[in-house]
């Protein structure tokens, strides 16, 4: 069978994945405490893709690698994509790369939209967890467009499971266009929230924003947010900065870092 290629693979995919991996390491390491290490770790990949495209390993494959490196027990990996072909290819890629995975790991594939996916996984957590409110994990959202981001469902997930960390990846070029549509009063663009509003709506005590990828003028640019509710956090990890620091606030509030003289403040 011919390999299916993810059509959303772009020039900044490798950079994006490295940011996801930094968040994966943070979330997995935080779950290494003796009191929680044996609990299931839920990994929710809302836009999993094929896991491998044009020589670049996707976030689904990279998460499994990181979990294996840490010998993390009881992985509950939930991979979603609206394209069944993507998940079929992901399943084959996982098998060809890893072969047999640990017996206490459980990988499931969800060929559906994100709204149904989050509902299905939430039900599963309530069924399988002895104390669902204490479920540990990481949810990664990398929508191909703002309308593909189920904002209300993501907020509900965060409120139900406060110990499942969140990663949200956004396209800045789309953000600017959507902001213009919202300012002009056009309907249908409310799902594409500015990052400051997203931080307010998703109940996480600590948020980190990644230093943006600087592309040439005219190229699409991106930012990544990571949020958690761990008691002890830090001001920085990898190239992520706490939004409570000057550097993190600066990244959130200004577009000037990208060297585009035609853009003013993006997140005002």
**Over the stretch 177-235, which tens digit does the pLDDT of each residue have?**
666 666 777 766 565 566 667 778 888 999 999 987 765 544 556 778 999 998 766 78
What are the tens digits of pLDDT across the range 246-265? 888 888 776 444 434 344 33
Confidence class for position 143, pLDDT limits 50, 70, 90 = confident
Pair of tokens at residue 51: 């896991």
The values of phi and psi at residue 82, to 5°, are -75, -15
Q: What is the DSSP string of the chain?
A: -PPPPPTT--TTHHHHHHHHHHHHHHHHHHTTSTTTTTS-EEEEETT-TTSEETTEE-HHHHHHHHHHHTT--SEEEEEE-S-HHHHHHHHHHHHHHH-SPPTT-EEEEE-S-HHHHHHHHHHHHHHH-SSGGG-EEEEEE--SSGGG--HHHHHHHHHH-TTEEEEEEEEHHHHHHHHHHHHTT-SS-TTS--HHHHHHHS--SEEEEEPPP---TTS--EEEEEEE--SS--SEETTEEETTSHHHHHHHH-SGGG--TT---S--
Residues in the chain: 268
Q: Measured on CA atoms in the order 31, 34, 36, 41, is the torsion positive or negative? A: positive
- Which residue is it, tokens 């996707």? 58
Count Cβ atoms below 10 Å from residue 162 Cβ, excluding itself.
Answer: 15
Q: Tell which wins on pLDDT, 176 or 258.
A: 176
Angle between helices 84-98 and 59-69 (to 10 degrees): 30
- What is the pLDDT at residue 268? 34
- What is the pLDDT at residue 230? 86
Read off the pTM: 0.86
What are the residues whose beta carbons fall under 8 Å from the beta carbon of 233, sequence distance 6 or more?
A: 205, 206, 242
- What is the pLDDT at residue 188? 61
What CATH architecture is 13-258?
A: 3-Layer(aba) Sandwich (3.40)
The values of phi and psi at residue 73, to 5°, are -85, 165
């Amino acid at each position: 069978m011919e390999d299916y290629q993810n059509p959303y693979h772009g020039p900044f995919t490798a950079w994006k994945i490295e940011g996801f991996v930094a968040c994966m390491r943070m979330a997995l390491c935080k779950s290494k405490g003796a009191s929680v290490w044996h609990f299931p770790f839920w990994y929710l990949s809302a836009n999993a893709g094929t896991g491998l495209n044009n020589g670049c390993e996707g976030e689904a494959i990279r998460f499994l690698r990181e979990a294996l490196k840490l010998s993390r027990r009881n992985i509950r990996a939930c991979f979603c994509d609206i394209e069944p072909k993507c998940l079929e290819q992901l399943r084959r890629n996982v098998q060809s790369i890893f072969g047999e995975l640990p017996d206490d790991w459980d990988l499931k594939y969800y060929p559906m939209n994100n709204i149904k996916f989050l509902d299905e996984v939430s039900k599963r957590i309530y069924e399988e967890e002895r104390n669902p409110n204490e479920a540990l994990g990481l949810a990664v959202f990398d929508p191909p467009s703002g309308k593909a981001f189920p904002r209300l469902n993501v907020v509900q997930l965060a409120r139900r499971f406060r110990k499942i960390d969140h990663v949200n990846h956004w396209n800045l070029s789309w953000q600017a266009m959507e902001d213009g549509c919202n300012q002009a009063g056009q309907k249908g663009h409310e799902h594409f929230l500015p990052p400051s509003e997203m931080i307010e709506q998703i109940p996480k005590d600590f948020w980190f924003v990644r230093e943006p990828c600087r592309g040439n003028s005219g190229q699409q640019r991106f930012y990544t947010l990571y949020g958690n509710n761990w008691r002890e956090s830090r001001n920085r990890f990898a190239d992520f900065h706490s939004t409570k620091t000057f550097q993190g606030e600066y990244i959130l509030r200004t577009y000037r870092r990208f060297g585009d003289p035609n853009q003013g403040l993006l997140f005002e």
